[in-house]
Structure 1
Amino acid sequence: MRTGPGPTGPYEGPGQEATETPAESLFGPGSQFHRFFNDPRWALAVVRATVLEAAHPQIGAALADNSSFVVHPWRRLRNTLVSLQRMFGADEDTRLREAVRLNRLHTRLSGTDARNRPYDAMDPEVRAWVVATLFESSVTMYRLSGEPLDQDTMEQLYAEFRAFLAALGDEAGHLPSGLPEFWQYFDRMVAEELQNTEALRIILFKLFEHLPAPPLFAGLPTIWATGRALAGPVIGTVTVASLPEVFRRRAGLPEVPGAQTLMQSAYIAARLARALPDNWLQAENVVSLLQLSPGGDGPHAETLAALRGRMKRAGALLRLITPLPAQQDGTSGTDGTSGTDGTSGTGGAGGTENRRSAREFFAEVLDQTGDGWLDWPDLAAMARELCSRLDLDEPEETRLYDAFAAWWRELQAALDSDGDGRVSEEEYAAAVPSLAGPALIRVAEVLFAATDADGDEYIDAEEYRALFRRGFGRSVVDSEGRVSRAAFVRDFLSFMSGRQRSTPYDPLLSDA
């Protein structure tokens, strides 16, 4: 990895400095970013940008080691959309707060890859490449759909992305100041620095074909499996075809006959989708949909229930025509109401219908990164999701991370029988159910304190919804409609150590 100037370092080539654009025009409703954020083509652009990011050796290593995008891609998408809305919104205080949060998150992502090469998510050169891929893919999405951006619009959009990087606190120079120099920088990065990384291969050849169902389709495996079987290969083919040709050759990516035509058709179709009603295309509505879970009671819950009812009937008809085998991703094979949302079965809180095996719990909850092992990145992913849901600041965020770190040390001491620094499914299954040690109790207590925003030692309806994104269940509240510390800790320990299926906790930690 280069650490000085050059293809991955601060750009020092010739060229005029770009004309400075007033900061107030670079964010908010009047920005170019705001215009395309709700464009359906941007879904294709974001996927493409993610692949280009994953091809960077440092980013690919960080994703492979730490990210939960394989098991929880919809959660990752939701969090990314929310973060971009905050960063490009009109409110300066919100943007600064989000920038501080992102920097805290990235500070925790460092290490070495399988070849003992270091990676660091705070490396300004790496962060510049992330922003570069988003800008270049945004420009490309217009070009591939037959509507190329004019020069002034491109320059405005580029200024906005440079301002985004500056808002994160990175010094100017890691991205070129002008567009002509940017294209030189981008071409050199693609030709010389990008690699066929493990993370890239996972995204292109595993994620799309094994994409887990979003909350909307939870418990509807026939419908989801059928759609995924058709759409997965298409998304992969379109994404590969849209990548720069020089990189496709260097990475040895497959050339599928007709891929270019398919890719252009997909972008043009996404462009035409802008004719749909505006409320169908709003990113805020996508975020709301991704936050829903079966059995929830949010503002769209009635619509979700009706839609799921229709999909169940469609799934039943589809099974009669083309029966599909049971899925291996934790969903039932009947498109019924069973699943991981705690609504299935006839057993009560302690009934066998509500329990799952140690191996199921390991795969569905503990192995957040989906690599088949339990180690620190899995627990860090849990802490990251909880901090995001509660929108925690320091020191509450660090307190929660520290509690999870202590729990990992406790698990490692108790379960890592071969001393390899991680816990296998077999090691975990052999040691349960005696896992509710002091460190896990501490996690529950810290999480309660973080959720109890007003510090009154109870979780009220608003605080509960902030964590679980749903209202109270009748069985969890006391006579005054609150959750006490003791009840919260008891339910958390029952879920995390006893593998008890739980209506709120399952969506919290195992939703895709």
Structure 2
Amino acid sequence: MFGPDSQFQRFFNDPRWALAVLRATVLEAAHPQIGAALIDNSTFVTHPWRRLRNTLVSLQRMFGPDEGIRQREAARLNRLHARLSGTDARDRPYDAMDPEVRAWVVATLFESSVTMCRLSGQPLDRATMEQLYAEFQAFLAALGDGAGHLPPTLKEFWQYYDHMVEEELEDTEALRIILYKLFDHLPAPPLLHGLPTLWAAGRALAGPVLGAITVASLPESFRRRAGLPEIPGAQALMQSVYLATGLARFLPDDWVQAENVTSLLFLSPDSDDPHLATLTALRGRMKRAGALLRLVTPFPAQPGPAGGAGPQRDAEEFFTAVLDQTGDGYLDWPDLAAMARELSSRLDLDEPAETKLYHAYAEWWKELQAALDVDGDGRISKEEYAAGVPSLAGPALIRVAEVLFGATDGDGDGSIDADEYRALFRTAFRRTVAGIDVGADVSGDADADADGDGGHGARYSRSAFVKDFLSFMSGRSRSTAFDPLLAEA
């Protein structure tokens, strides 16, 4: 059911699957429980590229050939989902561990994969469809959910799917955000930072197309019930896009491997990846194209990402870029939980280190509430934050820094080496940390590599790490290391 010969692996590296996953995400968001969980806890609006990368990595682990990796990832997903529960705007409970909810997530991935093939003129035969369905059933079983939450046969699955579409799905806020807000405001991926005009132009063209073809691909009965508008000609456009995307499968395998594409997409200009030189030259050409575009189009100036170390940023800017992870305009526990979740994912933490980091953030949230929640509404507004910035760097935040340092220091030698640094920051010492020297303690943000070894002999001490983390998280300074960690899209 898993590994390189599975149907899933064949689809995973198919460019059309990007469209299928987008469609599946919309169908998931239309489920009232999932939609509520997304609105309350997810960073899909403010950090969509980060969430996409984490999702793809998780799917690769779950469908890979290594059973040990699969069990470990399933345990991580279960811990993550166990932390997501609450009530929606109509006081209906939601719980990400509800097995019927998890079954619907798997069902949308399967059905959207089948629909992807049908829309691109290559419908699956019965045997292939049954094999793919069995693989997704095995995926659900690997998460520990019992039998019965997905129907046992394909015939029963389609009855179940039709019932969900016609009776259970709703026109949720999360669905509307994905279709009509996310595409219009989608931030540039790390690779395209510094090219705001070119990105704005591409987004202005591609965003409406993606929205139109996604709506057109949804079940007609749901489109009518949810009142989703369909642009004339959208069906023909949708099929053309699916057909055109399908042609990419004839490209060399290295060009369409999902892992290679996402690695390049998320490649930071500060990375030490060997492909960076080629991409830097490409970025130079794209910048020239962007300059020409500014001359011949009415696109307004687009803000680029903050770069490099510098003076204290505006309090509201820091609040929006770093603290408000969910993008709802307030700082509350889901924002800090999202930080803990991202850091745990980057470091691939197991228990008890993961829970220790969550607890440290929970204590910081209590400290923030006590210091900044003036009106007692259980959340912190931009105004409350700006008025109380000096209160941010208290004992609980120091504890967060110390716990994060301990989680990053995998070998427990009391310092962070180049490999440990790269695991957290996804970049090398030589491009982000000053004073590099063999055996040296490091801190700061200027580019340097004193011994030419790329920083491999350097060490980031506990005191320097804690100092830099506190300076960043209290909004006192920018950081070329911590800014991409918690502020990148």
Q: Give the TM-score band, short-chain normalised.
A: over 0.9
Equivalent pair of 1:476/1:483 in contact (CA under 8 Å): no
Equivalent pair of 2:31/2:169 in contact (CA under 8 Å): yes
Cα displacement (A) at 1:280: 1.5
| 274-283 vs 173-182, which moves further | 274-283
Task: Give me the TM-score of the superposition, normalised by structure 2.
Answer: 0.94
Secondary structure of residue in 2 paired with 1:27: coil
Equivalent pair of 1:495/1:505 in contact (CA under 8 Å): yes
Amino acid at match of 1:340: A
Identity %: 78
Amino acid at match of 1:71: T
Equivalent pair of 2:324/2:335 in contact (CA under 8 Å): yes
Equivalent pair of 1:33/1:157 in contact (CA under 8 Å): yes
Equivalent pair of 2:26/2:178 in contact (CA under 8 Å): yes
Equivalent pair of 1:476/1:487 in contact (CA under 8 Å): no
Q: Which residue of 2 aligns with 1:382?
A: 339
Secondary structure of residue in 2 paired with 1:433: helix
Aligned runs of 1:471-510 on 2, under 5 Å?
471-472=428-429, 473-475=432-434, 477=436, 480=439, 481-510=458-487
Q: Distance in 1 between matches of 2:438 and 2:409?
A: 18
Cα displacement (A) at 1:322: 1.4
Q: Which residue of 2 aligns with 1:231?
A: 206
Q: Which residue of 1 aligns with 2:283?
A: 308
Equivalent pair of 1:217/1:224 in contact (CA under 8 Å): yes
Counterparts in 2 of 1:180 and 1:302: CA distance versus 1, 3 Å: same
What's the C-alpha RMSD, in Å, of the aligned pairs? 1.2
Q: Which residue of 2 aligns with 1:112?
A: 87
Asked if 1:170 is matched to 2:145, the reply is yes
Equivalent pair of 1:340/1:507 in contact (CA under 8 Å): no
Counterparts in 2 of 1:476 and 1:396: CA distance versus 1, 3 Å: farther
Equivalent pair of 2:215/2:228 in contact (CA under 8 Å): yes
Asked if 1:368 is matched to 2:334, the reply is no
Residues 64-96 of structure 1 show CA distances to partners (whole Å, capped at 9, x for unaligned) of 100000011110110000000000000010000
Q: Which residue of 1 aligns with 2:426?
A: 469
Q: Distance in 2 between matches of 1:341 and 1:106?
A: 34
Secondary structure of residue in 1 paired with 2:151: coil
Cα displacement (A) at 1:499: 3.7
Cα displacement (A) at 1:474: 4.2
Equivalent pair of 1:295/1:341 in contact (CA under 8 Å): no
Asked if 1:276 is matched to 2:251, the reply is yes
Equivalent pair of 2:189/2:266 in contact (CA under 8 Å): no
Q: Which residue of 2 aligns with 1:257?
A: 232
Secondary structure of residue in 2 paired with 1:209: helix
Alignment equivalent of 2:77, drawn from 82, 86, 102: 102
Q: Where do 5+ consecutive residues of structure 1 fail to align?
A: 1-25, 333-338, 343-348
Q: Which residue of 1 aligns with 2:353?
A: 396
Equivalent pair of 2:318/2:475 in contact (CA under 8 Å): no
Equivalent pair of 1:78/1:290 in contact (CA under 8 Å): no
Q: Which residue of 1 aligns with 2:68?
A: 93
Q: Which residue of 1 aligns with 2:387?
A: 430
Equivalent pair of 2:326/2:335 in contact (CA under 8 Å): yes
Q: Distance in 2 between matches of 1:474 and 1:101?
A: 31
Amino acid at match of 1:194: L
Q: Which residue of 2 aligns with 1:221?
A: 196
Secondary structure of residue in 1 paired with 2:94: strand
Alignment equivalent of 2:16, drawn from 24, 41, 46: 41
Q: Which residue of 2 aligns with 1:289?
A: 264
Cα displacement (A) at 1:434: 3.5
Equivalent pair of 1:191/1:247 in contact (CA under 8 Å): yes
Q: Which residue of 2 aligns with 1:340?
A: 306
Cα displacement (A) at 1:302: 1.8
Equivalent pair of 1:477/1:483 in contact (CA under 8 Å): no
Q: Which residue of 1 aligns with 2:442?
A: none
Amino acid at match of 2:483: D
Asked if 1:133 is matched to 2:108, the reply is yes
Equivalent pair of 1:358/1:499 in contact (CA under 8 Å): no
Q: Where do 5+ consecutive residues of structure 2 fail to align?
A: 440-457
Equivalent pair of 2:346/2:424 in contact (CA under 8 Å): yes
Q: Which residue of 2 aligns with 1:193?
A: 168
Q: Distance in 2 between matches of 1:65 and 1:500?
A: 29
Equivalent pair of 1:65/1:377 in contact (CA under 8 Å): yes
| 428-437 vs 88-97, which moves further | 428-437
Residues 99-145 of structure 1 show CA distances to partners (whole Å, capped at 9, x for unaligned) of 00000000000011111110000000000000000000000000000
Cα displacement (A) at 1:291: 3.3
Aligned runs of 1:56-95 on 2, under 5 Å?
56-95=31-70
Q: Distance in 2 between matches of 1:373 and 1:474?
A: 32
| 380-389 vs 433-442, which moves further | 433-442
Residues 425-451 of structure 1 show CA distances to partners (whole Å, capped at 9, x for unaligned) of 111111113420001000000000000
Q: Which residue of 1 aligns with 2:155?
A: 180
Cα displacement (A) at 1:209: 1.1
Residues 329-358 of structure 1 show CA distances to partners (whole Å, capped at 9, x for unaligned) of xx33xxxxxx3242xxxxxx5x53xx3100
Q: Which residue of 1 aligns with 2:378?
A: 421
Equivalent pair of 2:191/2:266 in contact (CA under 8 Å): no
Asked if 1:460 is matched to 2:430, the reply is no
Q: Distance in 2 between matches of 1:290 and 1:489?
A: 30
Cα displacement (A) at 1:290: 3.7
Residues 156-211 of structure 1 show CA distances to partners (whole Å, capped at 9, x for unaligned) of 00000000000000001100000000000000000000000010010011001111
Secondary structure of residue in 1 paired with 2:86: strand
Q: Distance in 2 between matches of 1:268 and 1:187?
A: 26
Equivalent pair of 1:27/1:160 in contact (CA under 8 Å): yes
